[in-house]
Each structure stands twice: as structure tokens, then as C-alpha cells.
């Protein structure tokens, strides 16, 4: 076997404004607990856009984004088959089809409450799949590349029944909606509202239905996605907040759970809360670059509602979510793009054109250079 390459090729961001360039970058050193994959697919998540333009905070350029990665395992560290932290990762073998989501490391220490509870995404020392640093200070690089390398603990096997392009968006967007829907009881007897029908939101409708919620209401700014939400994705009702006069009053006290995926700060927060029933739960997963709108205390007081947030999901959540997706055929709506078209796809994503997730595919990339 030839010696593994030191550098990887991928689509690198050098600053907040310029298009990505296809060049080399240096991945983390390969350790015995790592896995290396040949990337076949990678979804484009809203977080990629926020990060590339340094929307939340200055990004650590050079940066390679992409954290909805599907790849084929080409290298397995010698300690992976006995990995103490993850029995599930021990069985990963050369040639397996695997996925990597938005997190690639956490402290994994027994005295860390989050890690010990299997809640790795809430570890204070979590490492994002890109724009992060591992304990040895090396940078984390994502999936807009030919290869990915990182800790086996955060690599999950993809069930055979899920096609790669459709499986990719499940790795970040899918688990980000699945984990809170599950945690807050979306299921029989419950009505669920999904706000923002984009990548996360359309998967929110699919998963709320798959979990057995009685009624799933899609909440969007206009009616342009109504037919998709009701006829294609299986939603039961639709609210176009920019078009229906008095919508918050008309539909007040109708929802047990609201999952809000909105990525812009100018959302009608207090009006969304009016839709909750007494004791209802509002879960924010969208991460706007500015503060959320202010709230009068009465929005919380009057019905005893809860406002919370949720961060991706643990490797165990990922495995459970993939199992449910396999059993119930939860397949995100994807539009495949060649990896070499990444800059065009990012512009389209930013303009809200995705229906509902762009998935980059390697293989055609070279032809486009
Ligand atoms: N919490 C987490 O762990 C986590 C994980 C992944 C992503 N995220 C965040 O989730 C957000 C959504 O990601 P995505 O990939 O789903 O993005 P996306 O495909 O662009 O979808 C975002 C949706 O939000 C709605 N929207 C956008 N701007 C809005 C505004 N100003 N007011 C009201 N609605 C607006 C739109 O839906 P309509 O057209 O239907 O109104 C849009 O389709 C991003 O901020 C991302 O960073 C968080
Ligand atoms: Zn993401
Ligand atoms: Zn930890």
C-alpha cells in the first residue's frame, strides 16, 4: 500500500468574501483512534454559510466547511477496534460507508457530565467538524474536500437502505431536528409546528410525522412552499406568516411543540409563542447572526410556556435517527451538485433556492477545474 498523503485536497476559504479555491490543506495528524474516509457526498448546511462569511465570529481561515459528510473508510486507526469510548465505532472497517456530522470531538472524560451522559454535543470542550481545534491544537477541516480524517467516536455507519445523497443531510440537519423532537415528546397525541421550511425545517416535518405526531403544521413566511409541505412532505396544515392576516391570533394555543429553524433575526418571536398551548415548548435551533427579538415577560407568563434551544445531537442520537430514517423511509429532498460547483451552490443556498438541501458529490469535481 502507498503511504498516505500528508495533505488533502479540498475547497478552501481564505477570507470572508472570496470564493473557495481548490487547493491543499493539512489535516490533523492521524492517530490510532482516528478514521480516514474518501468523501463521496457532503450536504450544504446553513451553518456553512454563517461560518464562511464569519457571521457569528471571525472564522479561523483557512477553513474547509461541510459537516454532512458521507464517505468510504480508507484508513482505520489501530486502536479503533478496541475504542473504550464507543462500542459502536469499534466495528467500523475498511470499505464501510460512514457519516460524519457537525461534531468531531469532545473531551470524552468520565468526569464530564455531558460526555458521561452521552450528551457529547453539550460538552464544554466540543470540537466542531470544521473551524475547530482538537486537543493537540491542530485544526478541524470539513467535507468540502476529497478526504476527511478525525476521531472514530464521532463516525457512524450508514444503514444500507439509505442512499448516500439522501443520507448526507441527516448527519447535521436531520439530527438537529430529530433530537429535540424526540426529547420534547413529538409523537402521538402531540401537535408540532415547524418554523422555517428550509433544509432543517423540511426534515423537521418528515421527522415529526415519522415520530407519529398527530398534526404537523408548517410555518413559513410565504405560501411558496405550501404545496411541497402539504402534498410532498406530509404536513397537515400550513401558515404563511407574511400573507395571512392575524395568523398568530387565528392559530393561537394550537401547538404543543414549536421547532424554530429560522436563520434570520427578524422573526416574529412573540407571535410564534402565541401559537403554543399552555405549558408548550418552543425550541430554537436556527442560529441567526444577531440577537433574537425582545420579548415581553407576558409571552412566557400567560401560558407557562418554555423557551429552549438544542444543539445538533450525540453520536447515539445520530444512530437512532438513522435507524428511524431507514425504518420509516425518511428521505430528505436533495438536489445533487458536483463538488466542483461548490461556489455556485453556495450562492444559490444563500439566496434560499435550495429545495431543500444541496448535496455536493465528488467525482465530477476534477472535470470542473
Ligand atoms: N442548533 C443547531 O445545532 C444547528 C444545526 C444546524 C443548523 N443550525 C442553524 O439552523 C439555521 C437553519 O439552517 P438550514 O440549513 O435549515 O438553512 P436554510 O435551508 O437556509 O433554512 C432556513 C429557513 O429559515 C427561514 N428564514 C430565513 N430567514 C428568515 C427570516 N429572516 N425570517 C423568518 N424566516 C427566515 C426560511 O424559511 P421560510 O422560507 O419557510 O420562511 C429558510 O428556508 C441556520 O441558522 C443554521 O446555522 C443550527
Ligand atoms: Zn449543520
Ligand atoms: Zn466532555
Residues 87, 44 contacting (CB under 8 angstroms): no
Give the mean pLDDT of the chain: 96
Answer whether 261 contacts ligand 1 (Cβ < 6 A).
Answer: yes
Model confidence over 54-106: pLDDT tens digits?
999 999 999 999 999 999 999 999 999 999 999 999 999 999 999 999 999 99
**Any idea which architecture 8-171+332-368 has in CATH?**
Alpha-Beta Complex (3.90)
The ligand with the least distance to the CA atom of 177 is 1
45 neighbors 312 (Cβ within 8 angstroms)? no
Q: Which of 46, 130, 178 to mutate to test the pocket of ligand 1 (most atoms within 8 A of CB)?
A: 46
Pocket mutation for ligand 1, best pick of 68, 168, 198 (most atoms within 8 Å of C-beta): 198
* pTM assigned to the model: 0.97
- Which CATH architecture fits 173-309? 3-Layer(aba) Sandwich (3.40)
CA distances from 16 to 59, 63, 108, 130, 349 (A): 8, 10, 32, 15, 16
Helices and strands (DSSP H and E) totals, the chain: 12, 17
Q: How far apart are the first and last CA of the chain?
A: 28
Residues 162, 99 contacting (CB under 8 angstroms):
no
- Domain positions in the chain: 8-171+332-368, 173-309
Ligand 3: distance of its center to the CA of 85 in Å? 12
| Per-residue pLDDT band at 369 (split at 50, 70, 90) | very low
C-alpha of residue 121 to centroid of ligand 2, in Å:
13
Residues ≥6 apart with Cβ < 8 Å to 203 = 169, 170, 173, 174, 177, 178, 330, 332, 356
Q: Can you tell me the mean pLDDT for 201-220?
A: 98
Model confidence over 126-160: pLDDT tens digits?
999 999 999 999 999 999 999 999 999 999 999 99
**pLDDT for 367 beyond 80:** no
pLDDT value for 81:
98
What is the pLDDT at residue 363? 87
Whether 45 is in the pocket of ligand 1, judged by its Cβ within 6 Å, is yes
Whether the CB-CB separation of 134 and 127 falls below 8 Å is answered with: yes
Residues 211-268: tens digit of each pLDDT: 999 999 999 999 999 999 999 999 999 999 999 999 999 999 999 999 999 999 999 9
Q: What is the pLDDT of residues 308-357, one digit of tens each?
A: 999 999 999 999 999 999 999 999 999 999 999 999 999 999 999 999 99
Cβ distance 43 to 171 under 8 Å?
yes
Which residues are CB-neighbours of 98 under 8 A, at least 6 positions away? 35, 37, 70, 71, 72, 73, 92, 155, 156, 157, 158
Amino acid at each position: 500500500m502507498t503511504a498516505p498523503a500528508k495533505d488533502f485536497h479540498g475547497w478552501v476559504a481564505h477570507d470572508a468574501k472570496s470564493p473557495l479555491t481548490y487547493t491543499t490543506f493539512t489535516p490533523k495528524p492521524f492517530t490510532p483512534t482516528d478514521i480516514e474516509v474518501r468523501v463521496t457526498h457532503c450536504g450544504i448546511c446553513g451553518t456553512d454559510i454563517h461560518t464562511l462569511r464569519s457571521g457569528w465570529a471571525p472564522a479561523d481561515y483557512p477553513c474547509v466547511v461541510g459537516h454532512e459528510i458521507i464517505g468510504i473508510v480508507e484508513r482505520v486507526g489501530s486502536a479503533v477496534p478496541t475504542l473504550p469510548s464507543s462500542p459502536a465505532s469499534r466495528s467500523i472497517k475498511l470499505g464501510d460507508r460512514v457519516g460524519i456530522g457537525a461534531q468531531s470531538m469532545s473531551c470524552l472524560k468520565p468526569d464530564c457530565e455531558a460526555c458521561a451522559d452521552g450528551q457529547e454535543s453539550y460538552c464544554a470542550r466540543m470540537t466542531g467538524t470544521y473551524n475547530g481545534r482538537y486537543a493537540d491544537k491542530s485544526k478541524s477541516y470539513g467535507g468540502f474536500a476529497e478526504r476527511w480524517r478525525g476521531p472514530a467516536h464521532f463516525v457512524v455507519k450508514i444503514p444500507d437502505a439509505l442512499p448516500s445523497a439522501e443520507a448526507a443531510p441527516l448527519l447535521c440537519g436531520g439530527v438537529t431536528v430529530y433530537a429535540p423532537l424526540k426529547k420534547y415528546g413529538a409523537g402521538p397525541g402531540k401537535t408540532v409546528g415547524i418554523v422555517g421550511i428550509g433544509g432543517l425545517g423540511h426534515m423537521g416535518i418528515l421527522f415529526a410525522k415519522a415520530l407519529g405526531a398527530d398534526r404537523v403544521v408548517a410555518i413559513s413566511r410565504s405560501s411558496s412552499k405550501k404545496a411541497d409541505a402539504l402534498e410532498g412532505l406530509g404536513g397537515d396544515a400550513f401558515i404563511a406568516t407574511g400573507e395571512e392576516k392575524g395568523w398568530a391570533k387565528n392559530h393561537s394555543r394550537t401547538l404543543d411543540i414549536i421547532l424554530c429553524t429560522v436563520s434570520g433575526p427578524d422573526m416574529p418571536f412573540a407571535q410564534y409563542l402565541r401559537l403554543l398551548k399552555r405549558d408548550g415548548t418552543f425550541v430554537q435551533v436556527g442560529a441567526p447572526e444577531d440577537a433574537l427579538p425582545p420579548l415581553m415577560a407576558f409571552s412566557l407568563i400567560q401560558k407557562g410556556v418554555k423557551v429552549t434551544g438544542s444543539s445538533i445531537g450525540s453520536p447515539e442520537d445520530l444512530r437512532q435517527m438513522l435507524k428511524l430514517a431507514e425504518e420509516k423511509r425518511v428521505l430528505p429532498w436533495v438536489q445533487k451538485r458536483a463538488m466542483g460547483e461548490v461556489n455556485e451552490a453556495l450562492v444559490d443556498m444563500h439566496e434560499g433556492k435550495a429545495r431543500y438541501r444541496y448535496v455536493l458529490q465528488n467525482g465530477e469535481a476534477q472535470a470542473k477545474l
